[in-house]
Amino acid sequence: MSKLKYPFLDLGTVSAAYADGLKAAACRVIDSGRYVGGGECEAFEKQLARHTGTKYAVGVSNGLDALRLILRAYMALGKLAKGDEVIVPANTYIATVLAITDAGLTPVFVDADLSTLNIDTSLIERAVTPRTRAIMTVHLYGRPAYDDVMASVARRHGLLIIEDNAQAIGADVDGTKTGALGDAAAFSFYPTKNVGAIGDAGAVTTNDNALADAVRALANYGSDTRYHNIYQGFNCRLDPIQAAFLRLKLDDIDTETRHRRALAAIYDAEIGNALVGKPRLATPDNCVWHQYVVRVGNRDKFRAYLTANGVGSDVHYAVPPYLQPCYMQYSHLHFPVTEQLAAEVVSLPISRCTGADDARAIAAIINAYTDD
């Protein structure tokens, strides 16, 4: 396929802007002779905790492991037990649900809100049962999924709030960053995320000292001190070379967020086509626009039109987790809003590969789309 004029995302182009710094970071790690743990990881963890506004940040191998480790750590601390129920949005990436079932916990899905595409917080309370112990909220597409309703249900029923912050680093609710809203949060630094590593990486943030220690131990064979194993753990550590890359990328997060918000504002102002539903802008804009997701009835036709006009696009996500083949036991469930989204969502280009003029051109192309 020939290269599109307006690619959805080209990671090589994104990295090129950081090339000198990334190469210097790699050399620093190679020359250090320290290839697991060490100063790069510690420095990145401090930087992430400062950025998020939490007491602790623990670097781990990826976002899924960050979620898994939080749940396993709560189990190790006696706050969760096998068979407990965890409320989770029906509209999420499958990793959120995989972490829950991996730990032997039961996901209880709640439908999405058509205006935020996030969990419909007004539906959370009726999903609570005597076995519910936690809400796993997901700040999907970079929009915080946390409000007073969720906080109040959690408080009244004694539920933990665990944030899947894989898509929303830098977002906030009234000045509190995502990752600091609940009891613990998982971050992913998968290369396509707003802060992306040059490979896999993740982190856990929390203000809970016992949880941070348990996550760190579980990620390191269950070892609290060398050759002393308090848990049957895993090897889910953050690589120092990724930590060195991430120190640089996290330093630049405000530029990344500003860029995404500027593109979202252009799309919002300039896309005007009755066939294309735009996401709601927040005022002030507290969303970090991991994806700019429009809704279109005849998605295949719309995407073919975009491609024919040189515009890349993607779909996040076409099949909800509970309808995936690996979750046959949930295939009888039905969440109308989530299923409508799965059929209609299209993600438009919003990375550093896309400039303001590109966004205007993309909007003009979208405005010329017809369904006949």
Ligand X SMILES: *Cc1c(COP(=O)(O)O)cnc(C)c1O
- The residue ranges that bind ligand X (CB under 6 A) are 62-64, 92-93, 95-96, 138, 164, 166-167, 188, 190, 200, 202
The 10 Å Cβ neighbour count of residue 115 is 10
> In the complex with ligand X, which residue's Cβ is closer, 64 or 215?
64
Select the residue whose beta carbon is closest to ligand X and give its number: 63
Shortest separation between residue 95's beta carbon and ligand X, angstroms: 3
User: Among 20, 61, 6, which residue's Cα sits nearest to residue 242?
Assistant: 61
Shortest separation between residue 330's beta carbon and ligand X, angstroms: 18
Q: In terms of DSSP bridges, do strands 176-177 and 202-206 run parallel, antiparallel, or are they unpaired?
A: unpaired
> In the complex with ligand X, which residue's Cβ is closer, 168 or 311?
168
Residues contacting 338, CB < 8 A, separation 6+: 89, 90, 91, 111, 112, 320
3-class DSSP state of 121: helix
Shortest separation between residue 239's beta carbon and ligand X, angstroms: 13
> In the complex with ligand X, which residue's Cβ is closer, 100 or 166?
166
For the four alpha carbons of 254, 7, 372 and 337, in that order, the dihedral sign comes to: negative
Q: Which two tokens stand for residue 354?
A: 């896309």
Q: Give the ranges where the chain is alpha helix by DSSP (H).
A: 11-16, 19-32, 39-52, 63-76, 94-102, 148-157, 209-218, 240-251, 253-270, 299-308, 336-344, 356-367
Q: What type of residue is 198?
A: I
User: Among 164, 264, 144, 161, which residue's Cα sits nearest to residue 204?
Assistant: 164
Q: What type of residue is 17?
A: A
3-class DSSP state of 11: helix
Shortest separation between residue 360's beta carbon and ligand X, angstroms: 28
Shortest separation between residue 189's beta carbon and ligand X, angstroms: 7
> In the complex with ligand X, which residue's Cβ is closer, 144 or 276?
144
> In the complex with ligand X, which residue's Cβ is closer, 190 or 302?
190
Structural contact between residues 196 and 190, judged by C-beta atoms closer than 8 angstroms: yes
Shortest separation between residue 178's beta carbon and ligand X, angstroms: 12
> In the complex with ligand X, which residue's Cβ is closer, 93 or 289?
93
Angle of helix 63-76 relative to helix 209-218, nearest 10 degrees, comes to 120
> In the complex with ligand X, which residue's Cβ is closer, 163 or 266?
163
Shortest separation between residue 347's beta carbon and ligand X, angstroms: 12
Shortest separation between residue 282's beta carbon and ligand X, angstroms: 19
DSSP tag of 130: T
Shortest separation between residue 60's beta carbon and ligand X, angstroms: 9
Burial class (CB in 10 A: 0-12, 13-18, 19+), 129: exposed
Q: Give the ranges where 185-344 is alpha helix by DSSP (H).
A: 209-218, 240-251, 253-270, 299-308, 336-344
> In the complex with ligand X, which residue's Cβ is closer, 171 or 271?
171
> In the complex with ligand X, which residue's Cβ is closer, 319 or 368?
319
